Structure 1
Amino acid sequence: MSKTQLYRLLVAILGIIGVSMQIYQDGWGMLLYYTVLSNILVFSFMLYLVYFERKNGPINAFTGLLRTKAGVTMAITITHVIYHFMLAPLVEPQEFWNVRNFLVHYIVPIAMILDTLFLDKKAVYRWFDPLLWTSVPLIYFGFALLNGMVIKLPIPGAVDSPFAYFFINVYKYGWANVLTNTLVISIAYILVGYLLFLLKRFIGKRA
């Protein structure tokens, strides 16, 4: 097993540990959080990459897989960014300074970002890829609104349950604010996607 495969396996294991701690401590309702779902996406994809490379060789020979991997990277990047800038300032110290929080909001996202930046081949993305990458959070936002307004499954620890996050609570803040929040996050997501697109023109392996 190569060093790259070992690194990705380690990231997957850390992701599994983080998600398992979330579910063990607060129940299966944690699966309604984007944070948990995006971490599941990462560790599942990392395990697949380890399996794929053992059968087919380095993923840098497969452009389509690299473009998909960038989408997974963006999906976990928003987990880190939104938590750090919008949610972390609102949580109690004991909810911030613990292993499970750092695993799912910092360690796994940053490890995935570093993997994509430095281990993947550069200059493989297409100009429209950052637009496609927004599909993951938009699908989640649609589901989160559906749960908050129709399904109403309770979400552990969420002040605005059955809404997972305060900024999508249409009953408290109204449609105008929720749609504005969604638009701002989407634009920021696309801009970060194009930042990744630009960085990968210069950073990464040649082959």
Structure 2
Amino acid sequence: MPRHPWLSLAAILGWSGLSVQVYLVLLARWQEQASLIGGLINVFGFFTILTNTLVASVLSYAAFGHPSAAKRWFLSPAVSSGIAASIALVALAYSLLLRHLWHPQGWQWLADELLHDVMPLLFVMYWWRVVPKGSLRFWHLGLWSLYPALYFAFALWRGHEIGVYPYPFIDVAELGYAQVLVNALAVLAGFWGIGLLILSLDRWQGRRLAEARAHSR
């Protein structure tokens, strides 16, 4: 796979956004004399942070990585496309459900923009320009769905254990299980819509490239 210079900047931005967010969380915990380990567990309990970590990993392998089994796995079309669907969900859900709930300032604003707006855009651009097209199948959507589904189950279990939920639309204490289930299914439906779009674009682009190669012979 050819390397693109802009991928280096994208990878750096990805890790920078994560670093700023983790620093801010740990700083707040330090000032409150709370557990720093607990702060790390909390911050990596967010779907946004987990997915941005996957995004930064893929971009790093694409920009800098040496040949390895991990690089082949992360850069495979099936895995990169699933991560693209997940980070697109992050951007969509944040804009529709969460952005209006707070107005971050300073460094928190920077982290917020990088994690929810800049990195989703850059990774979708990476998927479109770099990831090979034409190999995805409909059953890949089922595999991709395991990630948000397992995250949801984990978030509910953890929230039940400690009484804290990472997102207000899955806060069982406030909404009850019935409404939380409806909200989760709506988010999952959004993920399926994104996934179907990715599958359609992959098929269209793969067919177009195959026809171009056939005509060039």
Give the TM-score normalised by the residue count of structure 1: 0.82
CA–CA distance in structure 2, aligned partners of residues 65 and 122 of structure 1:
10
Cα deviation per residue 1:86-143 (whole Å; 9 max; x = unaligned)? 1012212638982111110011111001111222222221111122111111111111
CA–CA distance in structure 1, aligned partners of residues 196 and 106 of structure 2:
33
AA of the residue aligned to 1:179: L
2:153 aligned with 1:142: yes
Percent of paired sites with the same residue: 28
**Worse-superposed segment, 117-126 or 10-19:** 117-126
CA–CA distance in structure 2, aligned partners of residues 72 and 133 of structure 1:
8
Q: 2:35 matched to which residue of 1?
A: none
2:69 aligned with 1:67: no
* TM-aligned CA deviation for residue 42 of structure 1: 1.0
Q: 2:25 matched to which residue of 1?
A: 26
**Worse-superposed segment, 178-187 or 87-96:** 87-96
CA–CA distance in structure 1, aligned partners of residues 191 and 199 of structure 2:
12
Match of residue 170, structure 2, among 147, 168, 171: 168
Contact 2:86 2:191 in 1 (8 A): no
3-state DSSP of counterpart to 2:209: coil
CA–CA distance in structure 1, aligned partners of residues 125 and 176 of structure 2:
38
CA–CA distance in structure 1, aligned partners of residues 9 and 135 of structure 2:
25
Q: 1:156 matched to which residue of 2?
A: none
* TM-aligned CA deviation for residue 9 of structure 1: 2.5
Contact 2:3 2:63 in 1 (8 A): no
CA–CA distance in structure 2, aligned partners of residues 172 and 162 of structure 1:
11
Q: 2:51 matched to which residue of 1?
A: 38
Q: 2:215 matched to which residue of 1?
A: none
Contact 1:33 1:164 in 2 (8 A): yes
Higher helix share: 2
Cα deviation per residue 1:22-62 (whole Å; 9 max; x = unaligned)? 0111122322211111111111122233455x548xx9x99
Pairing 1:1-207 to 2, within 5 Å after superposition: 3-4=3-4, 6-27=5-26, 28=40, 29-51=42-64, 55=67, 65-92=76-103, 94=105, 98-150=109-161, 152=162, 162-203=164-205, 206=209
* TM-aligned CA deviation for residue 19 of structure 1: 0.6
RMSD of aligned Cα (Å)? 2.8
* TM-aligned CA deviation for residue 73 of structure 1: 1.0
Computing the radius of gyration from Cα coordinates, the structure with the larger value is 2
AA of the residue aligned to 1:9: S
AA of the residue aligned to 2:89: I
Structure 2 alignment gaps of length 5 or more:
27-39, 211-217
Contact 1:88 1:96 in 2 (8 A): no
